[in-house]
Amino acid sequence: MKVFLSSIKNEFLKQKRGFTWIIVLLLSLGTSFLAFVDVYLRYDYLTKKQNLLNTWEILLLENHLSALWFITFPLAVTTICSLLYYVDYKDGGLKYTLTLPISKNKLYFSKWVTVVIFSIFMIILNISGLILAGKILNFPDSLDIYLFLKYGIYQFISLLGVISLQLWLSSRTNNIIVSLAQGFVGIIASLFLAQSQFIAKLIPYAHILYSIPLKGENNSIAIQGGITFGLLFLFIGMVHFKRKDILD
């Protein structure tokens, strides 16, 4: 267990001087800020248009759709997965990593856990930014902590498929551009294909679109899809990484 925890710690240390933390902070708080500006400028219009939602639900909806959090979050996860392997491949670092006294399964899982932790941190930052925005805007409705808690949990579960898929794709190539392009194409394609709920169930990148906990949303797509594809691609990634040779 100590070796496993040490491996996770090393993953974070390797990202200390990179762009990962900048991406996490800028995208999370930046999206919250865009949602704040959007609601501030269009407050009267939005409250009239979305008259079935309270002000906190409107802010959440604007963050998710208008501020494009459902796109920037998967993009951030894709980039983080690519950067984890980029640091390893750089200067032959992966060859050294594979010689460490830890099984390849644990080594791969430590990377998966690292991305999960980064993702949770982004969710917390984004939601904290939204709550702060609502307080600054002095919303008349009471803060619904349960709503934001569900939003955070649903987002996390919905992104498990993307985390597992992108980590596997990133492990297959030493070219960061390739893994980033694969994720980018998948996310953009999901914007069109996710219009069909049946197709959306089969696309990990589309699951987050259904993670917003408002009435009428089919959150089962986000939850069931995230768990199913998260476990499936985690298993596939582990099997592939276990077969990886030091000379690859």
Predicted confidence pLDDT, tens digits, the chain (248 residues) = 776 777 788 778 777 777 888 999 999 999 999 999 999 999 999 999 888 899 999 999 999 999 999 999 999 999 999 988 887 777 565 655 666 667 788 888 999 999 999 999 999 999 999 999 999 999 999 999 999 999 999 999 999 999 999 999 998 888 888 989 999 999 999 888 888 899 999 999 999 999 999 988 899 999 999 999 999 999 999 998 887 664 44
Where along the chain do its domains lie?
2-242
User: Contact 57/214 with Cβ under 8 angstroms?
Assistant: yes
**Which amino acid type is present at position 207?**
H
d(CA 50, CA 221): 24
Are 107 and 241 a contacting pair, CB within 8 Å? yes
* Prediction pTM value: 0.92
